[in-house]
Amino acid sequence: MAKTTQYWYKRTIDQLLLMGKSKRTAETYAREIRILGKYADRPLEEIVEEELRQFILYRLDDCKLAGSSMRILHCGLKCLYQDVMGNKWPLLEVLKSQKESRLPMVIDRDDVGAILANAGTPQIMTYLRTVYSFGLRLEEALNIKIGDIDGKRRLLHVRGKGARDRFVPLPEKTYRYLKRYWSLHRNPRLIFPALGRSGSEGPTSSKPMSRSSVQGGIRRAVKRAGLAGRKITLHTLRHSYATHLLEAGVSIKTVQEYLGHATLQHTVRYLHVTNWGREQACKTINTIMGEI
């Protein structure tokens, strides 16, 4: 009996979870399974290698998927047809996407201050300050728990991507803001609990506030700060944290550890958006040449 697209979608997610991917990552990689099901309009186990190749070209040429989206497509399809179904198609071995080498979007500290000043609510302001103060990813900040904050040692325990936990220095000012915001809801476990439509569910909420709440919050803060013409997102605060640390002379290895990057290669790109190294080089060159 033929299996449904939903069946293969669920099997792909389960396989990705077994491979160590997070639930959100697994769902992202598997999303192309549903699109393939609509495109083929027949059981996915009946699709042959050439049909899969045509679907990939359709998504690339007709749908104009960017390199990052094509990599997601490749991972999902390889998982289904190679790992789940056990096919040994040559196509699955050669799937590659050209990596985009875009520089990260970075803003200066004055712009960060303007965004925080225009956050609108204590909830959004404290959340945005937390993202910037520790260089966190969106989910990392949402899921901070009371026990993650070590006030004595001034450290934050970050439950990072790919099960890579790390400790990041806790600035005194940010610590005060976190304590002040927590005192408004006093949830026994979460720093940023969902407040509910009435705004009164914080003390008893068992889940953090939603992604859409914080994404909408930074969009409104950016607009009120007069920065709407720039593509500033939550991740911009993380990029800016890394760049500002490098500009202040923090070693790139230390920045890598604080960001939770698996390799130094991911951190090196921040050197391309800071002038600190160039300024130091100019001073050194002037000194050397002035002695001759």
Query: Catalytic residues, which ones?
Result: 137, 161, 235, 238, 261, 270
Of 212, 200, 201, the closest CA to residue 142 belongs to: 212
Q: What are the phi and psi torsion angles at 139 (to 5°)?
A: -70, -35
Q: Is 192 left (phi over 0), alpha (psi -120 to 50) or beta?
A: beta
Residues 6+ positions from 191 with CB-CB distance below 8 Å = 130, 144, 145, 146, 149, 178, 181, 182
- Phi–psi pair at 71, nearest 5 degrees: -65, -40
How far apart are the C-alpha atoms of 245 and 251, rounded to whole Å? 8
3-state secondary structure of 4: coil
Token couple for 275: 């002038």
